[in-house]
Amino acid sequence: MATQTKTFSVFIKAPQEEVFAYVSDLTRHPEWSGGLLRVEARTAGQVGVGSKYVSHGELLNEKERKNELQVTQFHPPNVFAFMAKDPGVGEVQHTFTFESRGGETRMERKVSTSLPAVKAFLFRLMIDPLVGNPMMRKSMARLKEKLEGKTSE
Look at the domain 2-151 and name its fold.
Answer: Alpha-D-Glucose-1,6-Bisphosphate; Chain A, domain 4 (3.30.530)
Q: For residue range 55-78, what is the model confidence (pLDDT) as tens digits?
A: 998 766 667 889 999 999 999 999
Q: For residue range 127-145, what is the model confidence (pLDDT) as tens digits?
A: 554 455 567 788 889 999 9
Distance CA 120, CA 83 (A): 19
Average pLDDT over residues 114-132: 57
**What is the widest separation between alpha-carbon atoms in the chain?**
48
Q: By mean pLDDT, which of 24-28, 102-106, 110-114 is the weakest?
A: 110-114
Q: Measured between alpha carbons, how far is residue 140 from residues 53, 62, 96, 122, 147 in Å?
A: 21, 23, 12, 24, 11
Average pLDDT over residues 26-51: 91
pTM: 0.85
pLDDT at 151 over 60: no
Q: Return the pLDDT at 62.
A: 64
Axis crossing angle, helix 16-23 with helix 133-151, rounded to the nearest 10: 130
Show Cβ contacts of residue 20 under 8 Å, excluding neighbours closer than 6 positions.
76, 77, 78, 80, 98
pLDDT winner (highest mean) among 21-30, 35-44, 106-115: 21-30
Domain boundaries, the chain: 2-151
Average pLDDT over residues 26-36: 86
Q: Return the pLDDT at 5.
A: 82
pLDDT at 2 over 90: no
